[in-house]
Chain A
Amino acid sequence: MTAEPAPNRKTIIDDDTELVQAINAGRTERFPELVRRYEQKLYNFGRRMCRDESDAEDLVQDTFLNVYRYLKDFRYETKFKNWLYRVAANTALKKRRRSKFAPEPELSLEELVWREEAVASEEVPQWARMPLEQLLNEELLGTLHQAIWSLPEKYRIVTILRDIEEFSTDDTAQILNLSPANVKVRLHRARLFLRDKLKGHFGHDV
């Protein structure tokens, strides 16, 4: 049965609406179409969230299972893609909560500022001046992936959504159920953290 939007709520029509409505109307044989449409994006989201490839695959699998289970609850009040990423984000964060690891540390702006003061550069570092095509190589990408994986999860997920998947601040806030201000704070700290790691990669050329 199709989930009808509540009265007086804005209905969002996007490229996925027809397919989602069809599945919710009982044409579940079209669900594999939805999987094919988003498997690539979710796989990459998973690979960036999880260092281990099999964890990434589990995340994608569990996300699609949850989408299959809860699609009927989708109210067409957000873009379907945002709802899908919300399911993926919740699935990822739940996995973390179930794991044996200790709570993740906060990234303190004061700490990042302190580090900045210690190494403040009076000129733009060479790596920040070079064209990207000259700068990019496998080693640098490896460093960047490691740096993203070493971000505490709540910062990592914001970085992935904003700077890699290129969701807007408002969409990211909606996906993660945070305020836009909170998204901005987390993103700024995460970017400073990644910049520190890149500085380390380029050694003394800070």
Chain B
Amino acid sequence: MMCESHDHLHCLELFSKLSEYIDGEMDEAQRRQIEAHVAECVACFACLQSLKQTIALCKQTGRQTVPEVFSEKLQTMIQDIQRAR
């Protein structure tokens, strides 16, 4: 996260807020602060982009279909507990 043209501590402080920025959960002033910083600091910009890509990939992990055998097992289990009451 080091960048020569910026205060290193500032980079570290922003580092902890990048997820909130990506999620749009920041107030306007904080958002502008991050945007101004990443426009100047290539390391923070690179960090932000790779974090965004990580999140995008997580959203692409897909869904598995419930195996039919398991679905039937669930219905049987429910019928059994209903009968037992």
Q: Mark A21-34, 1 if CB is under 8 A from B, else 0.
A: 00000001101100
Smallest CB gap from A159: residue in B: B58
Interface residues on B, range: 35 or more
Q: Is the CB of A145 within 8 A of B78?
A: no
CA distance A2 to B75 in the complex (A): 23
CA distance A148 to B59 in the complex (A): 12
Listed in ascending order, the chain B residues whose CB lies under 8 Å from chain A are 1-2, 12, 15-16, 18-20, 23, 25, 42-43, 45-47, 49-66, 70-71, 73-75, 77-79, 81-82, 85
Sample of 27 A–B contacts (CB below 8 Å): A31-B82, A35-B78, A39-B71, A39-B74, A43-B70, A64-B77, A109-B16, A116-B47, A117-B2, A120-B2, A121-B43, A122-B42, A122-B43, A122-B46, A123-B46, A124-B50, A132-B60, A136-B57, A141-B62, A144-B58, A145-B61, A163-B59, A184-B25, A188-B16, A191-B54, A198-B53, A198-B57
Q: Is the CB of A127 within 8 A of B58?
A: no
Listed in ascending order, the chain A residues whose CB lies under 8 Å from chain B are 28-29, 31-32, 35-36, 39-40, 43-44, 47-48, 57, 60-61, 64-65, 68, 109, 113, 116-117, 120-125, 127-129, 132, 135-136, 140-141, 144-145, 148, 159, 163-164, 166, 169, 184, 187-188, 191-192, 194-195, 198-199
Q: Which residues of B contact A47 (CB under 8 A)?
A: 64
Task: State how many angstroms separate the Cβ of B48 from the closest Cβ of chain A.
Answer: 9
Given contacts A163-B58, A195-B54, whether A113 and B15 have CB atoms under 8 Å apart is yes
Q: Which residues of B contact A136 (CB under 8 A)?
A: 57, 60
B interface secondary structure, majority: helix
User: Which of A47, A121, A125, A145 has the most CB atoms of chain B within a 10 A radius of its CB?
Assistant: A121
CA distance A194 to B55 in the complex (A): 9
Smallest CB gap from B58: residue in A: A163
Q: Is the CB of B47 within 8 A of A40?
A: no
**Which single member of B20, B50, B63 contacts A128 (CB below 8 Å)?**
B50
Q: Is the CB of B61 within 8 A of A135?
A: no
Given contacts A43-B64, A141-B61, whether A187 and B19 have CB atoms under 8 Å apart is yes
CA distance A47 to B66 in the complex (A): 10
